[in-house]
Structure 1
């Protein structure tokens, strides 16, 4: 067995676990708490402040996070509050803002961290996800739009780890079906890409397999009935496991391609990665037939022959997209032949993702893959 390392933050998981927030802040010796969220979750943010205020903690709320945020959002937040603890409550964008704010500290300039080593953290950090998808609560990554850059910038540093992640599935119940679908697909893509990554380990494999199986079942159920707390809990669990897995093993071509075409349609991140994942799975299948056959079976395939099952993985993922009423090809999103070359070029801007992919990513192959994704040309025959 090859050597490997593995990292994970402290986790508090379960329905009702939000009520433990005050105890966690006090354990960290936090006194001045800034809760950050978005406008749609302001009421949830107010509830969080109530929990903290009941325990005698000083809490201020900021609900200015925007979807797919630019880095200026962090500067706007840290300029308004005097804090020693940041609590992020929301989806991946909000949690990423909280991470960078805790590193930057009051009146800091996050743009100065672009292209530099992100070391040290000025404030304590607690992350509370309200969607089951990004896994940001357990990763050392934060993703932002940076003016002048073609693709999103990924901050990657141990300083971005939370002191504790509080995962309360009850907070995901209010997510509408389309948010449930997109965030859930993001989680399953994280698990699949971590599982097939060149940097996968025995531990990340176990977590990824569980996330794929649990997530694909729970996601359909949560999409069909958002009040199904058992399904919501299963999806929160799957997203958590997937986050831990890809934090250690990384993601690959699926995310590079998702970023590469996102400027055309501006879909939520999970939907952007998901629409092209069936084609990525069929491209990667020959790199590891056993793992891709396993993915197909975890997604519901009963094909027994390993090679046949491996190529079935893309079709099974497409079935999941269909069940969630999500797009299956890029032409449905406005992309055409004229966009192929640009998308291919943008894939290679995500160098780390490309380097982790299990099959070597060759430019000439990408033209064929992207055309298949544009026109919906999934191979039904395993050839």
Structure 2
């Protein structure tokens, strides 16, 4: 069994200007970003790049209509590199812009069209959660299917991942937390995945240790505590990305996708809803094995008994950001069965990575308890 694959070059720079100078950004570079980041970091440097603002094509998380409009727009430009500067949504879109001959991105996600890369891809994350800068995965809402779909293909794997802690300084606390919790979930789901290896475990455990420790510091010292640990959080997110890029994620992500697509709940926040409920079921059904290893690790960080680790983690996260009931997002009780149907139909790619199998009844119970 393959133990680890990592083809992306990972680099760190203190300042955005250092990266721009090192990569000699210029007229042959297509930059996908948003206007606020452009104004803060690119505009002062007066770099003569081609710049596309993501918000000109719609807001919310990426969908097929938005991406098709961007693909049509960039046909007029001659460029050799795609540079994504932004959060997970921008990175997911940029990954698809390096593919040759695509007119309708739905055909790619439905595997009706092959993926052929013809541009270099450079990713500069501005949140500390997705880890997408080192994965071959793009997640997009397919409007006609009323759900999100994932594409996993090495053709969209970034060539370079650039970590710049300066870019996180303007990230509001809520978005810092939801993205950081997403990174924690990536590391955790990868640790208990049946595809985990001793190598991915190294990255998972390192990410969990860093993230939970920083969360404890924020609870003790306040929101601004994070500012001294931005580089560490970027690395932890990156490590979690390496882990789940190889070992995969499972039911937490699968259950979150219908909620995110239907009610536009941010990805990390939607994942947070299902995180500890899924871990509880894993522990109930198969308390030995990797879930035991996870509980021992969390117990050592949180200074609790292993039997208390999952509940203690949930308490810690709730002290950092609120966890609304699902009906507070607008979800209706009758949608529970539809959401489970959607997960079973559309998310088998993820469900096969579960630590232990979850039944339809299990998934319905999770939704009902959170509702």
TM value normalised by structure 2 = 0.87
Bigger drift between 278-287 and 292-301 goes to 292-301
Shift, 1:297, TM fit: 4.5
Tell me, in whole angstroms, the C-alpha distance in 2 between the residues paired with 1:31 and 1:102. Answer: 17
| CA shift in 2, pair 1:71/1:335, >3 Å | closer
Bigger drift between 335-344 and 142-151 goes to 335-344
Residue 316 of structure 2 corresponds to which residue in structure 1? 320
Tell me, in whole angstroms, the C-alpha distance in 2 between the residues paired with 1:92 and 1:362. Answer: 30
What is the root-mean-square deviation in Å for CA atoms of aligned residues?
2.6
SS at match of 1:372: helix
| CA shift in 2, pair 1:192/1:18, >3 Å | farther
Q: Is the 8 Å Cα contact of residues 7 and 159 (structure 2) preserved in structure 1?
A: no
Q: How does 1:1-383 map to 2 (within 5 A)?
A: 4-16=3-15, 19-24=18-23, 32-44=28-40, 47-48=41-42, 51=45, 53=47, 58-65=48-55, 66-78=59-71, 79-80=73-74, 81-104=77-100, 108-116=103-111, 118-219=114-215, 221=217, 224-226=222-224, 228-263=226-261, 265-285=263-283, 286-299=285-298, 300-304=301-305, 309=306, 312-327=308-323, 329-335=325-331, 337-348=333-344, 349-374=346-371
SS at match of 1:356: coil
Shift, 1:103, TM fit: 1.7
Q: Is the 8 Å Cα contact of residues 146 and 261 (structure 2) preserved in structure 1?
A: no
Shift, 1:354, TM fit: 0.8
Shift, 1:130, TM fit: 0.5
SS at match of 2:145: coil
| CA shift in 2, pair 1:94/1:60, >3 Å | same
Q: Is the 8 Å Cα contact of residues 21 and 52 (structure 1) preserved in structure 2?
A: no
Bigger drift between 108-117 and 210-219 goes to 108-117
> How many correspondences in the alignment?
358
Tell me, in whole angstroms, the C-alpha distance in 1 between the residues paired with 2:168 and 2:108. Answer: 32
Give ranges in structure 2 of 5+ residues lacking alignment: none
Cα deviation code 1:301-332 (max 9, x no counterpart): 4344xxxx2x5343133113212122164344
SS at match of 1:103: coil
